[in-house]
Structure 1
Amino acid sequence: MQTLFDQKTHKDILIRIDQLKENSKPIWGQMDVAQMVKHCQMPLLMACGKIQLSDEVGFFKKMLLKLYKPIMYNDKPWPENVSTSKDYKITGHYDLNVEREQLKIIITEFHNKALNIYWPKHPFFGNFKTDEWGKMQYKHLDHHLRQFGV
């Protein structure tokens, strides 16, 4: 499984992000390309401790989500049209070039945390190890870049 902590994978993701165009259309889903790029920043910002998700998930749903936790970082791509947390839903108009540069900055900041041992607790899935964070963040970005054909 690829990880954002790998130098080549990090570089490849940045190249793929640069291939996005204003007129890029989604193969699935509702977001336009700028909204998707903004959306992709959110999990990275959370992992880097810069934002927090609301913790409005009940006990039973948390237990169910923990059963799905390994899917977040295993070798299989995420399915199309997988639902997202309300905290990560993006609406409104965004400038692709501005959001792309912000995404590349936060990806690189995350990539530079490869030796980090202190990660915030995910409010839905609990604790992740460093390698799990790297795989999960790669899978999320890959999912959305595939959504837009890059």
Structure 2
Amino acid sequence: MSSIFSQADNDLIISRINQLTPNSKALWGKMTVDQMLSHCQAPLDFAFGKTPMKANFLMRIIGKLVRNKILNSKEYQKNSPTAPAFIRKETYDFEAAKQGLIERINVFSELGQKAIKTTKHPFFGEMTYEEWSKMHTMHLDHHLRQFGV
């Protein structure tokens, strides 16, 4: 399993990102490529402590019940639900969104586990650094596969 803290693994993710173009089309879902690049930054920003989020009590209970099933799966399912704060409906500058995502991924390579400012996920609850790594790498892989790279 790849790690969000590994420079070599992140170089592979970044090489996939660099294969995207402003004309890349989704194989499923509603997002455009620029929206996807912006969307993928949001969970990373949360991990960095830049985007505070809270889930209501019911969502926290559901999250704890499904956490292991999701984190132990091979990949995220197509059209999985997302946090409202992560939904992107605007148009974004492709190059700026691409560079922003690459810069955030590089923070994990540079700082390792220190990049994560909270180990408490608003939906899944308390998570280990390994679980955070798996969640982020699965999420990035999911959306890169969505756009065929």
**Structure 1 unmatched runs, 5+:** none
- Among 88, 101, 111, which residue is 1:103 paired with? 101
Q: Which amino acid aligns with 2:81?
A: S
Q: Give 3-state SS (helix, strand or coil) of 2:14's partner.
A: helix
Please, which moves more after superposition, 8-17 or 61-70?
61-70
Q: Which amino acid aligns with 2:23?
A: N
Bigger helix fraction: 2
* Cα drift, residue 72 of structure 1: 4.2
Please, which moves more after superposition, 75-84 or 36-45?
75-84
Output one character per residue of 1:98-118: Cα deviation in whole Å (capped at 9) or x when no partner.
Answer: 100010111111233324396
- Whether the 8 Å contact between 2:5 and 2:113 is mirrored in structure 1 is no
Residue aligning to 1:145 = 144
Residue aligning to 1:123 = 122
**Structure 2 unmatched runs, 5+:** none
Judging changes above 3 Å, is the alpha-carbon distance between structure 1 residues 135 and 113 closer, same or farther for their aligned structure 2 residues? Answer: farther
Residue aligning to 2:58 = 60
- Whether the 8 Å contact between 2:71 and 2:135 is mirrored in structure 1 is yes
Residue aligning to 1:14 = 14
Runs of 4+ in structure 1 off by over 4 angstroms are none
Paired with 2:58 and 2:100, the residues of 1 have a C-alpha distance of 36
Judging changes above 3 Å, is the alpha-carbon distance between structure 1 residues 71 and 3 closer, same or farther for their aligned structure 2 residues? Answer: farther
> Taking structure 2 as the reference length, what is the TM-score of the superposition?
0.91
Q: Which amino acid aligns with 2:66?
A: Y
* Cα drift, residue 68 of structure 1: 1.4
Q: Give 3-state SS (helix, strand or coil) of 1:112's partner.
A: helix
Paired with 1:122 and 1:98, the residues of 2 have a C-alpha distance of 27
Output one character per residue of 1:68-126: Cα deviation in whole Å (capped at 9) or x when no partner.
Answer: 11244335111111111111000111111010001011111123332439641211111
CA RMSD of aligned residues (A): 1.7
Judging changes above 3 Å, is the alpha-carbon distance between structure 1 residues 72 and 4 closer, same or farther for their aligned structure 2 residues? Answer: farther
Paired with 1:118 and 1:12, the residues of 2 have a C-alpha distance of 21
